[in-house]
Structure 1
Amino acid sequence: MRLFGKYLLILFKSQMQYRTSFWLLSFGQFFIPFSVFAGLYFLFERFGQIQGWTFFEVALVFGVIHMAFAIAECLARGFDMFSALIVNGDFDRLLVRPRSTVLQVLGSKFEFTRFGRLLQSLVVLVWAISRVETDWTLMKAVTLLFMIVSGVMIFTGIFILIATMCFWTVQGLEVGNIFTDGGREMAQYPLNIYHKWVSRFFTYVIPFGLVNYVPLQYILGRTEGSGIPYMLAPLAGCLFIVPCLMLWSFGVRRYRSTGS
């Protein structure tokens, strides 16, 4: 973790060498999800509810998902840009260093300009928390934290999976955006508004349902019986990153240099 912190510090200092550019990019990132949130607001302004979900309940999910995506995109940007390391042959240098390739790829790129997206998501989340109809307790606050952490792990796992495919395809596959950008757009709504096969896929395969829909039942007091399984569901979602790391290790063992 000390080495990871040094990676963060070095890259932050390098990006702050162009402060005007940094703040302009951060400002732009603030308004990217704002337009999506505006669409969400006008949708509920027109229809009132969506299958029993109110605006602030969905806004709570929106804030959690977009905050998790912003953190994952900042910290796991190295995996998102991993194909460049393969194409240029730079991954070979990582293999001869006495540190984990996962740590080195994580430390190769950070997008601190995602702070703008993170700030916007935080504003929406705080607003939703203050307006949603529920009695907040310490356990519910902890559940909300679990939701964010689980979302970060799932998005990071998806980035790792997409990067792993580069060991065989060399170039990155745009189809991966279906599960990053597409997953983010779908998971900003409770999954029960979609067809059953969609909600099942995003619960049992890519477990976004364990980030938003299941723990949200506990926060809103809609559970039957004990609420502990609903509260701990996001921690099960964190396990998604384990098979992603296993597949990454499998790909590293079968990597053949591009010869660049």
Structure 2
Amino acid sequence: MNALQLYLRYISVSFQAQMQYKVSFLLQLIGQFGGTAIEFFAIWTLFNRFNQLGTWTLAEVALFYGTVNTAFACADAIARGFDLFGKLIRDGGFDRLLLRPRSTVLQLLGTEFTLKRMGRLLQGLAVLGWSLSTLQIPLSLSTVWLLLTAWLGSIALFVGIVIVQATLTFWTIESLEIMNILTYGGVETAQYPFSIYRKWFQRFFTFLIPLACVSYFPLLAVLNKAAEFSVPLWVCYVSPIAGFIFLGVSLKLWRIGERYYCSTGS
């Protein structure tokens, strides 16, 4: 069985396990949908009071909101095993993964595919659809490319951040909750256009954590605002690759952490 077949088998088992309690799954789905809907209601309230945020309208901000939330929902569902990695380190469970003749990355990715994250995904898709409809953006080949690469690049970036958080656990044992600043905090940040933030903040989320590269720049091109903010159009088309580069770097760091690991002694 190759890696892809094994991963799909992992996902199948995870689906079956989560669907054993259908009412619980449905309530969690509704909870996720409702929780994220409240977030967008807060944004709507802001625009209802002030009409605009700088030069940005509610429909334009909704495009950023929908893109980043659908991407984060997928990344959160995929990388759940890394999110819970601290427990494996503390109780020595990671030793069991090392004994198996498969990549630890594959095993952790297959630990759980969290279906309840579909609530955030569906809510994000609803907001994204409303935004595209309201702004009357035609789904041309270039627009589809920009939206798709922004979405995939954002997924890769968020998965990479979770892997970095798990990698640090090799040294700290306990998971560093401060890393949530880059995951959940990153989602909150990317829900708005980066032009509203201070320059140092924009640079941090462009060159160190390339959140602006995977969401802000390509969506500027979708909204035909790249020239307005002095961003070259070609940058908007290629910048989402930064998310995959970040993921590759995080996997390199993971291998370094694996070599450092010497069990908990429990």
Shorter chain as normaliser: what TM range?
over 0.9
1:67 to 46, 66, 70: 70
Q: Which structure 1 residue ranges, 5 or more long, are not aligned?
A: none
Shift of 1:226: 6.5
Shift of 1:212: 2.2
| Cross-structure match for 2:165 | 162
1:257 to 235, 241, 263: 263
2:233 to 208, 227, 231: 227
Shift of 1:19: 0.8
Q: Does 1:10 align with 2:13?
A: yes
| Cross-structure match for 1:31 | 34
Q: Report the more deviating stretch, 223-232 or 118-127.
A: 223-232
AA aligned opposite 1:244: S
1:151 to 154, 173, 186: 154
Q: Report the more deviating stretch, 93-102 or 228-237.
A: 228-237
1:129 to 132, 139, 144: 132
Q: What does residue range 1-260 of structure 1 map to in structure 2 within 5 Å?
A: 1-132=4-135, 134-224=137-227, 227-260=233-266
Q: Which structure 2 residue ranges, 5 or more long, are not aligned?
A: none
Give the distance between the partners of 2:88 and 2:33, measured in 1 at CA.
29
Task: Give the % identical residues.
Answer: 46
Secondary structure class of the residue paired with 1:109:
coil
Give the distance between the partners of 2:131 and 2:89, measured in 1 at CA.
43
Shift of 1:133: 5.0
**CA offsets per residue over residues 65-96 of structure 1, 9 Å max, x none?**
11111001101010000001111111001111
AA aligned opposite 1:97: R
Contact 1:192 1:213 (C-alpha < 8 Å) held by counterparts: no
TM-score, length basis structure 1: 0.96
Give the distance between the partners of 2:14 and 2:92, measured in 1 at CA.
21
Cα root mean square deviation, aligned: 1.3
Secondary structure class of the residue paired with 1:212:
helix
Give the distance between the partners of 1:166 and 1:236, measured in 2 at CA.
24
